[in-house]
Amino acid sequence: MVAGRLCAQEVPVKGSAVSALDSAVHALYAEGKSYFLQEEYTLAVEVFSKIIAIKPSSGAAFNDRGSCYRKLGQLQLAISDYSEAIRLNPCAKYYNNRGSLRVKMEEYEEAINDYTIAYALDTTYYQAVNNRGIAYLNTGSYRRAVEDFTTCIRLKPDNYLAYNNRGIAYYKLKEFELSLADFNRTISLKEDYGVAYLHRGNIKEMLDDDAGACDDWSRAAALGVKQAESCLKNCEN
Q: In whole angstroms, what is the distance from residue 148 CA to residue 118 CA?
A: 13
Domain of 130, in residue numbers: 90-156
Predicted confidence band of residue 23 (pLDDT cuts 50, 70, 90): confident
Instruction: Using DSSP, state whether 183 is helix, strand or coil.
Output: helix
- 75/95 same-domain check: no
- The reply to whether 109 falls in a domain is yes
Contacts of 155 (CB under 8 A, 6+ apart): 124, 126, 129
If asked whether residues 82 and 26 sit together in one domain, one would say yes
Residue burial 119-156, b: 16+ Cβ < 10 Å; e: rest:
bebbeebbbbbbbbbbbbbeeebbebbbbbbbbbbebb
pLDDT digits (tens, 9 = 90+) for 87-128: 999 999 999 999 999 999 999 999 999 999 999 999 999 999
Q: State how many domains the chain has.
A: 3
- 68, 53 in Cβ contact below 8 A? no
Question: Mean per-residue pLDDT for 30-39?
Answer: 96
Of 39, 72, 89, which closes a domain?
A: 89
> Does the pLDDT value for residue 11 go beyond 80?
no
What is the pLDDT at residue 14?
52
pLDDT above 60: residue 18 = no
> Among 125, 156, 187, which residue terminates a domain?
156
Give the model confidence (pLDDT) of 193-214 as tens digits: 999 999 999 999 999 999 999 9
Do 37 and 79 lie in one domain? The reply is: yes
